[in-house]
Amino acid sequence: MAAICIMVLGTTSGAGKSWLTTAMCRYFQRQGLKVAPFKAQNMSNNARVVASRAGGFAAGPPQGETWPPRGAGSHTQWATVGAEIGSAQYFQALAARAIPDVRMNPLLLKPEHDTHSQVVLMGQVDEALSRMAWRGRSASVWPVIAQALDDLRAENDVVVIEGAGSPAEINLSSSDIVNMRVALHGNAACLLVTDIDRGGAFAHLYGTWALLPQNERALIRGFVLNKFRGDAALLAPAPQMLQDLTGIPTVATLPMWWQHGLPEEDGVFDMTPTLGTGVSSLPPGGAIAARGGPAPLTQICIVAYPRISNLDEYQPLKNIPGVHLKWVRSPSEINALKPTDWIILPGSKNTSGDLAWLRSQGLDAAVARHAGQGGAVLGVCGGLQMLGEALIDPHGVDGNAPGLGLLPLVTVFEADKTVRHTRSRFSPSMNGAWSALAGVEVAGYEIHHGQTQPHAAMVAAGNVAQEVLSEGLAWQSPQGNVLGLYLHGLFEDAAALQALFGTRFSKPVPTLDTVFDGLADFIEQHFEPGFLQGLLQPR
């Protein structure tokens, strides 16, 4: 029997579809059901790597294996061919305690310019589709999308589907492949969620419903008001009036909840309160100091260059007590740091372009000054490439550029992209600022064209970076304070978080699994009693 489909639609982007889908994945999993997430098409430069087979759907794990894979030896790659899916569906799969799978997000659009996106179909870049006009693409990709959903339904009890934007974009309805066409294909029980904090929520709900044809309206089982501040009793009689107009009940009023801890799918989280300090971007001293309490133990500044990518992997740092996480764009913010504070250079969709931006802002000198004073600097993927001496691009992939010169390394961009999930163990000889990671086994993923090696002339002169993860994954400066690694997801790994921060606290450091349970508890508390279970009953 095919799985029940439950779909979360929104009146706008940012209404709360993604986190509500994640919460429902964990909620139904806790009912003893086998659950998978699905989003037909996602648009994001935040991607995760899952296992795949060339020309086919994602492979299951080896017998007795877990996700992330754990293997003998210092370095294990699970898949011979890596596949990319949107990070939201990756986290939803983890919430469902399912193995992340390319079928959960068959089409991923990765914006490269304001009017152009790289198209990733079933986890692999498709250049022909990338060149195709937007409206002409849907006929080519819909059979793949429908098959992916059908296969997930055949293997699970429940598939929780996330829509995109609004289902009532009437200019796009004829080529829709992500909202109501998916809902109709799966005969999904649909929720329509709106952001009441924006204002006009009841008009958004009614207008969306009114623009849908009758057969699509019939799939909507309930309205959800999200991000409400205040006394829900003050909403009356509007929910009843809306039900009188549409026949659809308002089944949940969800309070504003800044601190749920789920990574943001897109955009930096500058002004959202954190679990650790209350807010993610404040003057030095952080929110704890602003409330008259002690200053944070560590400030972590992430450089927010224009083409930043995979930024959501830093969300777990927001959840750690005593950590003040902020995004920086000016030298003055870096110059105010103590040597015990961190600077992170994150991934980039265009490393050479973001290096040019760093220099134009004077941030290159500020980062070098912090490193020269013994301050901790971490570069991840594109950030690692920036830390080296030079970027060399013989294939026109990214661009040539001089690096920051903080690690004696050189990066050469290859035509083929490395995309794989990886588990490796840090060298036991790590020292300095990153010594807590010595000997720690961590899992993560790689997405990069660049291949990095020690600078031969500098090595000959005695300037050698220590390789601290095998097979060219990470290097540490001789002084120990500068670390560069290709492995994304370090702060999503529970072992790494515990090693870096666990000695400060009597309780385990918060993890993503803690966040998923909190999301499920939240919706269980605020939805009408019995409604969520009722979605499992066909009508």
Which positions are catalytic? 381, 488
Closest Cα partner for 190 from 161, 147, 170?
161
Instruction: Report residue 90: phi and psi, to 5°.
Output: -60, -50
Show Cβ contacts of residue 58 under 8 Å, excluding neighbours closer than 6 positions.
50, 51, 52, 83, 99, 100, 101, 102, 103, 123
Cα(210)–Cα(82) distance, rounded to whole angstroms?
Answer: 43
Cα(21)–Cα(156) distance, rounded to whole angstroms?
Answer: 16
Is the Cβ–Cβ distance between 315 and 263 less than 8 Å?
yes
Show Cβ contacts of residue 528 under 8 Å, excluding neighbours closer than 6 positions.
249, 251, 252
Sheet bearing 35-38, strands edge to edge: 35-38, 158-162, 4-10, 189-195, 220-228, 250-255
Cα(530)–Cα(515) distance, rounded to whole angstroms?
Answer: 23
H, E, C per residue of 266-299: CCCCCCCCCCCCCCCCCCCCHHHHHCCCCCCCEE
Strand (E) positions, 45-154? 47-52, 75-77, 81-86, 107-113, 116-121, 124-125
Taking only Cα atoms into account, the Rg of the chain, rounded to an integer number of angstroms, comes to 24
Closest Cα partner for 111 from 267, 224, 242, 243?
267
Cα(222)–Cα(424) distance, rounded to whole angstroms?
Answer: 46
Token pair belonging to 336: 């105010």
- Residue type (1 letter), 122: M
Other beta carbons within 10 Å of 59 = 18
Q: Is 180 left (phi over 0), alpha (psi -120 to 50) or beta?
A: alpha
Query: What is the DSSP secondary structure assignment for residue 415, as one 8-state letter?
Result: E
Is the Cβ–Cβ distance between 351 and 385 less than 8 Å?
yes
| Cis omega (within 30 of 0) for bond into 316 | no
Cα(31)–Cα(417) distance, rounded to whole angstroms?
Answer: 40
Is the Cβ–Cβ distance between 16 and 254 less than 8 Å?
yes
Task: Please state whether beta strands 482-485 and 474-476 pair in parallel, antiparallel, or not at all (unpaired).
Answer: antiparallel
Place of tokens 């993923």: 445
